[in-house]
Structure 1
């Protein structure tokens, strides 16, 4: 079916549009005659759907029959002998006279049959989709305290827009996304860094101590409720797992920024331990450049992982110790460089093309056409 968008400021409104034909063979009994005929109808069916804060809502289907043609193919009667032919001709003549009424009846039956079938199938799919959203991503988000603070949807004749805000006490969230969207995309997802960071603050990383070998796994587990599905950070079999352990800071343990065409990941560690070396608070930063290749999407790290000591008030460190502090920080950075390189890999790859299966069982091929980071927004476009 095709999709037709409708302007609405209260919901994201669209219709599934199905064009088709209906052909049938008929036998009408009118004692003492039997009339044989055929009927052909062309129709357009529309099933309107709305995306609201409460989920997906289906309205009643509307079916318009553009044209119906009935044809009399023949007739039989119980009259025999010399009058058989006359009786048959009379029956066919009367049947042809009733063709307008028969076509109106056939059109009405097509409307009723198609509308009933469309309502039945789409309504069942809508019920299933809403149930899966509540029990799947919706339940996971609520379980981790990540239900959206607000959800709104609207539509124009060209696009559907669904906006969700994720914020909690003492948190800020962004307003509407930038107007400029990639052209030629079938769907565009825009995420503001505040939504990701607000969610991370709810996921229990603050103050946790995690073995280096499990840092990537733990971050992936923490991100899963944000996206409503499992998140896998690709492994490089040639790289060893990071050694030691990380204790995340009590505030802002992990931050993400979408700026200047890059994705910046900032890890605030209260301390890091590697063997006998235990470091004070560190800020670890990695910047990734999204790159679309022929068959994959790559996040390519820009330069080395940046490691520096957390800011210390000038009153705490005397002038005479500043040289020592700089040397100490350089030594710590050198010791942590290798394990942090294993946490923040130089390159992360993902397939550019993928498929999704609709509720009706249709497999839809999709391809990433844009991945842009700008002014706090990450924009992903597919077609």
Structure 2
């Protein structure tokens, strides 16, 4: 990517609201990024032109990779220059470049190439996405009528899969299976198995039943059917009905080739600059292909889902990392009062218990055991008419309480336990204990009798431990996760829905070692991410990966387009929204005099006039966070500054015990529309540059932060931050 050139400094001007800059940067580091070069807003890449960002991706590969890089560049140029009607030539170019990508993948797995990992990963993403789409386009052009049958079969399997997932969830809920009766589940299964037009008729009826439930006067019903599993079934049924009713699924439409070319050109434009206009064109081309191809756009959609409709938030947390928050050690002291083997038993005991999470493999849900490992030390005396027996007990127990989370609710299962009991008789006293010789003999006889009953007493001890631990573990855990379900709905799901930030797709899975959570924020007309290059989570830490589409789609929900807002209004907007997520106590800290980000400005804060489209866009490239703001400035004592595009590149450097956040290069300011006066534009640009320079001073933040989780302070350390190929990756341990 071409860096913006340094700009001439300027004189005093109004300051941009720091709340706005801080909030934008804060949202950005939570979810950014995607491309490599800035081009003009209305520029479109023609088929014969190699996109600038693809050329730039090859530049850093010098030295031993120079010849290889030149050869790849020549092959990419040949691909873009090839006759779009010559599918055989295009396939050969794709095949050759895919073999080059195999070399890159192999190098990325080799520690010897760690020094060029960043440019290799950037090239792997930039070129890999394009090759995937071209491959899918060529497959689409060569579809045969048999593809319709295969597509219907695939859509039917999607309906069955969604129905099975919903049925599994409903079995865990009291009277939940009545919903399967309402949705006519047996008839759905039977019609899909038989095939033919009846399946579409049955699934169309399912859509009507969903519509009735979603329009219910009962808010509980409406909320219930808005859950992920219900909506997945609804979407699968709608896709089946839509495809079945499409008259163009017996042959590709004449416009298919043009639509595929339009799609690819729009994707190139989006890769260059991910604005909403390019995203809308991609979705429009996709919709035309869904309506005009034999497979209903399935092959293209498969490639788009992998590269542009994928999850844009990903968190991988290791088991030790999660246990930093949830593991605890308990110790309880208490009296012992019992009646065992005809004896009144009394004394005291100390129970030490370690509680932790133990992940279990599940490809579609979060599954774990709440694991108890405990030891009970007891000192008791058992009193009968004949003797008092003194016993020291050391009992170990291991209990597991299975819990699973399906993305909507937590479910618990009954706990199980294993106990290793050990009673050791340490003495006895009888009515003869104080009589010389006879007393010792009597005491020894009492001890011997107690030893004979050791097996019985330990069996009883195991039963006592089980009967006390299991009910308590079940009741406490069940209550806790019932409360967690309510909290999740009230404190997480509801605010996210109100803010328009509730993910439209989620995925969960666990292994023995970690949990992976993925989500996507994407609506009609928007895009998601591609799959990030696989990076393992630290053994004792977590990995957070956030894509530019997450942040850009989130910013769009702020509804800033076309608005004129001053600092107080922006601050109120951000605080109001963040309070919904973080609680009513949230408030932006006030800047203090003397701090590096505070500067007196007698002229007061600026009032921003945001552009009607894409007022804020963020990109990530080559370890730079690129913030692009499209806005003008309202001035009381002068003409307003018309809409400018302000580009700020920010670099994150992890060093020592801190993270350095600073601008890379100068701030670029260009007019969105051609200015009436070039001289006037120079003044506008100089004023804008000064405003944003003062609003974005270098910052240093500590790598380690203490996070409050319930009643526990958990120290966290950010060990690495990188920004590559549209993804910000943050390592925490």
Q: Say yes or no: TM over 0.5.
A: yes
Give the equivalent residue in structure 2 for 1:12: 366
1:316-361 alpha-carbon deviations (Å, 9 max, x no partner): xxxxxx8x65444323201222222234x132333211112333x2
- Residue matched to 2:377: 23
- SS for the counterpart of 2:451 is helix
RMSD: 3.2
1:8 and 1:310 map into 2 onto residues whose CA distance is 51
Partner of 2:689: 337
* Aligned residue among 720, 729, 733 for 1:370: 720
The residue aligned with 1:261 is 623
Q: 2:704 maps to what in 1?
A: 353
Q: 1:239 to 1:286 in 2, by over 3 A?
A: farther
Contact 1:259 1:374 in 2 (8 A): yes
Larger displacement relative to structure 2 (195-204 or 27-36): 27-36
Residue by residue over 1:200-234, the C-alpha shift from the partner in whole angstroms, topping out at 9 and shown as x without a partner, is: 111221221112x4487367448737975758589
Q: Work out the number of aligned pairs and report it.
A: 368
Change (3 A) 1:64 1:184: same
**Secondary structure of the equivalent of 1:168?**
coil
Aligned-partner Cα distance in 1 for 2:590–2:698:
9
Q: Is the 8 A contact 2:610 2:643 kept in 1?
A: no
Specify the alignment match of 2:428 in structure 1: 75
The residue correspondences of 1:120-269 to structure 2 (distance < 5 A) are 120-181=475-536, 183-184=538-539, 186-211=541-566, 213-214=567-568, 217=571, 220-221=574-575, 224=578, 228=582, 232=588, 235=591, 236-238=597-599, 240=601, 243-269=605-631
Per-residue CA distance 1:243-262 (angstroms, 9 max, x = gap):
43211122222112222211
User: Mind listing any 5+ residue stretches in structure 1 that lack a counterpart?
Assistant: 313-321
What SS is found at the alignment partner of 2:421? strand
State the partner residue of 1:273.
634
Q: Does 1:291 align with 2:653?
A: yes
Residue among 98, 106, 111 paired with 2:466 = 111
Structure 2: distance between partners of 1:125 and 1:295 = 37
- Name structure 2 gaps, 5 residues minimum: 1-326, 328-355, 592-596
Q: 1:117 to 1:362 in 2, by over 3 A?
A: farther
- Cα distance 1:244–1:23, how it changes in 2: closer, same or farther (>3 A)? closer
Choose which of 652, 672, 686 in structure 2 pairs with 1:310: 672
TM (norm. structure 2) is 0.46
Structure of higher RCO (CA pairs closer than 8 Å, 6+ residues apart)? 2
Which of 381, 389, 393 does residue 39 from structure 1 map onto? 393
Matched residue of 1:369: which SS? Answer: strand
User: Structure 1 residues 296 and 180 mapped into 2: Cα distance closer, same or farther (>3 Å)?
Assistant: same
Distance 1:220 1:327 in 2: 36
Q: How far off its partner does 1:380 sit?
A: 1.5
The 1:339–1:206 alpha-carbon spacing in structure 2 relative to 1, beyond 3 Å, is same
Q: Distance in 2 between matches of 1:182 and 1:292?
A: 18
SS in 1 for 2:640: strand
Instruction: Judge conservation of contact 2:499–2:577 (CA < 8 Å) in 1.
Output: no
> In structure 2, the residue corresponding to 1:280 is in which secondary structure?
strand
Aligned to 2:665, what secondary structure does the other structure show?
A: coil
Contact 1:191/1:377 (8 A) holds in 2: yes
CA offsets, 1:57-103, max 9 Å, x none? Answer: 444433322x3221123334457989766654443322211101211
Q: If each structure's helix is expressed as a fraction of its own residues, which one has the higher value?
A: 2
More displaced, 170-179 or 28-37?
A: 28-37
